[in-house]
Structure 1
Amino acid sequence: MFLKSDSVTLRKTNKQDVDFVCSLEAMEENSKYIILWSKEKHEKALANTDVLHLIVEDRKRSQPVGYLIIAGLENPNLSIELVRITINEKGKGYGKESFNLIKDWVFRKFQAHRLWLDVKVNNVRAFKLYQKQGFVVEGTLRDCLKTENGFESLHIMSILKNEYEELTKEGTYCSTSLMS
């Protein structure tokens, strides 16, 4: 499956991409905001029919700039989880454009009812991006993650299909191209 816009392409991750994914996770600016996966866990996710593991590429350079993972493809409640989005080159719009593509796919092609995620409370940059993308806070899991520095909390955020459709009507959303 491929999803593309003017600036990015989302393509399925392959086994050769896993080293890039792990190196991106290990970067200090990323690792403090995510729960790290082992190389083996990423490789297992590639074969899992409930998970979609995608590489984000800059279309002009045909070069990977990030990755994202969604899960819940087999969820009978049509609730999809954005497990992770990690972008190497921040501030260039790759995250925003990747969100536009994945929301379009989740709600229009896959026909899900709900897209949700969790975000560490201290990840202000991501939190603001999610809000701009139409996600609302459903609640906070207080001190749910034990880290070497103590405990951290997570916000649970979601956007529903009807909210997404309302945003697209208002013109706050760019259309994208879907290819399978």
Structure 2
Amino acid sequence: MLFESDRIILRKMTSEDTELYHQWRNDIEVMQSTAPLLDVYNIKETEEFVTHVILGSHFSKSYIIVEKKSKKPIGVTSLINIDYKNRNAECIIDIGDKEAWGKGYGAEAMKLLLDFSFLEMNLHRIFLRVFSFNDRAIKLYEKLGFQQEGKLRETIFRGGQWHDILHMSILENEYAEKRKSQ
């Protein structure tokens, strides 16, 4: 099935997920490696963001990552800024359940999202942004076939120092080659 692997299911995000998403979005440790601004949001701000940006846009598709065995939501992955004409989209992923960190769920979710992007949506290019200090994520993206195509130098200030934002992408043909070799 397109939206499941051996251990996870991707299900469409709904407004009922707002409270859980709000908890993840307000956990500084969860957002440390993915959010440009570390800020605390009130529930109303999160509700508006979910309603208008995540669920209310034709240019985004968001999915809750659910661990099959426990049926527990552990994160979210999305395609955002979808450009249907040029067949491009940006992808994001956050594993909000810290107990699920380091167990390969992010890799499984990204593979499912790439399958959906290229095999169902017929996209040509998927891109992402990652902080230069997020070594685990960079290794994952490279393993999946993403290539670095540029960087924004010294854009994020964390832990008393400046860090780059790396831009990475994978093209449809690169994805197909990588998928054949697995």
TMscore range, shorter length: 0.7 to 0.9
| Residue 42 of structure 1: how far off its partner (Å) | 2.5
1:1-180 alignment runs, 5 A limit = 3-35=3-35, 38-39=45-46, 40-44=48-52, 45-82=54-91, 84-87=92-95, 88=97, 89-145=100-156, 149=160, 151-170=162-181, 172=182
Once the two structures are TM-superposed, the CA of residue 9 in structure 1 deviates from its matched residue by: 0.6
Residue ranges of structure 2 left out of the alignment (5+ in a row): none
Q: Give 1:67's aligned amino acid.
A: V
> Relative contact order (C-alpha < 8 Å, sep 6+): which is higher?
1
Cα distance in 1, alignment partners of residues 163 and 12 from structure 2? 31
Q: 1:176 — aligned with what?
A: none
Q: Residue 120 of structure 2 aligns to which amino acid in structure 1?
A: K
For residues 41 and 64 of structure 1, the distance between their equivalents in structure 2, rounded to whole angstroms, comes to: 19
Hey, what does 1:175 align to over in structure 2? none
Instruction: Please say if residues 8 and 58 of structure 1, whose CA atoms lie closer than 8 Å, have aligned partners that are also in contact.
Output: yes
TM-score (norm 1): 0.85
- Kindly tell me the number of residue pairs found equivalent between the two proteins: 169
Q: Percent identity?
A: 31
Q: Deviations over 1:135-173 (max 9, x none)?
A: 110011112346795644200000101001101111x2x
Letter in 2 for 1:24: W
Distance, in Å, in 1 between the alignment partners of 2:145 and 2:75 is: 21
Paired residue type of 2:25: E
Q: TM-score w.r.t. structure 2 length? A: 0.84
What's the offset of the Cα at 1:59?
A: 1.2
Q: Distance in 1 between matches of 2:140 and 2:160?
A: 26
Deviations 1:91-117 (A, max 9, x none): 222101101101111011111000100
